[in-house]
Chains A and B, each alone.
Chain A
Amino acid sequence: MKKNIFCTTALSFLLVLFLAGCAEVVQMGTAVGEGMGKISKEDREAIDRAAKQTAKAARPMTEQEEYYVGRAVAATILGRYRFYSNERLTAYINSIGQSLALASDRSYTFGGYHFAILDTEEANALACPGGIIFITRGMLKEAQNEDQLAAILAHEVAHVNHKDGLASIQKSRWMEALSILGSETARKIGGAEMSKLVSLFEGSVDDVAKTLLVNGYGREQEMKADLGALAFLNRLGYSPYGLTDSLEKMAREQSGGSKQGIFATHPGMNQRLANSRSTLSKNQWPRKDDPARDRRFREFVG
């Protein structure tokens, strides 16, 4: 009876630990319990297995996994739009984008931030998980100066920071992938398990691509990305008004009936504009126009 009371108390304690994610501590605890003859070897192994599986089941996608999903999403987008190869323009947008990424809340990702141009008149910008960011030629035309272009890129960097792309993956897919990975046979995944894992990967990529290209993010995610963008712009010394200026322009075009590209996947421009204006006024950030930036914008973008 005494042994049962001990086991119940110890197991409750270990349960608290492994719910807190301390699988290794649980294993040490069970080792002590077994060593003292308080729990059997079988009980100990069962607790250890449960702790490890619980810890794994609860884990979010790693940076490395996010990187591979992002590469596949980028490959999907590049299958739909033509890649625009222009070395000078690519260098320019990468210089702006990578400076913003360093100033963001997630300066480094597994594979880093990379910015590329899509050859379409449709105005849009798309952030793949992990840091590959596309801007279309149509969107480049929307920007009237470097600060507005920086604002568009900063908004996409914020989506990467917030892992908004990954959030669009159906939870059930990731849980199923984890159950395959957490199984005892995961040491060497092959055959049917690998094929199942690949279709879960494919499904995850489709979820993200559909969100980026068709459905768009939720209004809440867009507004949070705007707030992130304002902070990154301000940290780097760009005028945060670059964001409200470009939102104003897009809101005017959206009210004019445009339903293509960014207007389809980024709804509620007016609400976003009001939200960003309120942040600007609360922080009393100054408008900072800069002739040197205007000059180079004209030189690279025209």
Chain B
Amino acid sequence: MKTKTWVILLALCLISSVAAAATVKVITQEAMIRADKRFFAPALVRAPFGAALEELGREGDWFRVNYQGKEGWIHKSAIQEQKFQLSSLAGGQAEEASRDEVALAGKGFNPEVEKAFRDKNPKMRYDLVNQVQAYRVEEQKLQAFIRAGNLREPGGVQ
């Protein structure tokens, strides 16, 4: 009986690593899934923070994924391997634990804490921080800037 239990536990360990490897989660505010494994490749679909993407393969720093039926490439720095998938194999209790993890994942230094901090320090220049973060260089302009300076386009398979 003891051996049987060990076998079950080890099997669960193996299943968990397989299940975890099959899905990745977006960890940036939003991430672009692209037609090719390059930063400036055409964007296919935008995935929000926390979106679960099915992993189809890896090449260098790029993951091939499926999101909402669209298959494309995403850079490794925009994602994290996800382990929640395990819950579907483990039944109700583990599923509940996973939901707890998801709920707690939003806790921490989050918008709620920032709001309380700002209320406490109303003179902090968050208006300027928002202005700094709102500034974006369009992809096409960035690509043109790189070319005009005789630089190399970053982000091919490394």
Contacts and interface: CB of A to CB of B under 8 A. Distances in A.
A94 B135 contact: yes
Contacts of A238: 151
B92 to A, nearest CB: 10
Contacts of A95: 137, 141-142, 145
Nearest to B98: A24
A70 B150 CA distance: 33
Interface string B60-99: 0100000000000001011000010011001101100110
A192 B154 CA distance: 48
A99 B133 contact: no
Contacts of A105: 77
B157 interface: no
- The interface size bin for chain B is 35 or more
Interface residues of A, number: 77
Contacts of B133: 71, 111-112, 114, 132
B150 A292 contact: yes
Given A75-B128, A99-B151, A108-B78, A22 B13 contact: yes
Nearest to A234: B152
Nearest to B16: A25
B155 A201 contact: no
Interface string B90-118: 11011001101001110111111110110
Contacts, number: 202
Interface in A15-66: 17, 22-25, 27-29, 31-33, 36, 38, 48, 52, 56, 61-65
Given A25-B16, A181-B104, A107 B110 contact: no
A68 B137 contact: no
A78 interface: yes
Contacts of A22: 13, 16
30 contacts: A23-B97, A24-B16, A24-B86, A24-B90, A25-B13, A25-B86, A28-B94, A32-B5, A32-B9, A32-B12, A36-B5, A61-B109, A64-B27, A72-B117, A91-B137, A99-B142, A99-B146, A103-B154, A112-B29, A116-B135, A132-B133, A146-B149, A181-B104, A186-B107, A187-B103, A189-B112, A201-B114, A237-B151, A292-B149, A293-B150
Interface of A: 6, 9-10, 13, 17, 22-25, 27-29, 31-33, 36, 38, 48, 52, 56, 61-65, 68-69, 71-72, 74-76, 78-79, 83, 90-91, 94-96, 98-99, 102-103, 105-112, 114, 116, 132, 146, 177, 181, 186-187, 189, 194-195, 197-198, 201-202, 204-205, 235-238, 290, 292-293, 296
Interface of B: 1-2, 5-6, 8-9, 12-13, 16, 27-29, 31, 39, 49, 61, 75, 77-78, 83, 86-87, 90-91, 93-94, 97-98, 100, 103-105, 107-114, 116-117, 120-121, 123-126, 128-129, 131-133, 135, 137, 141-142, 145-146, 148-152, 154-155
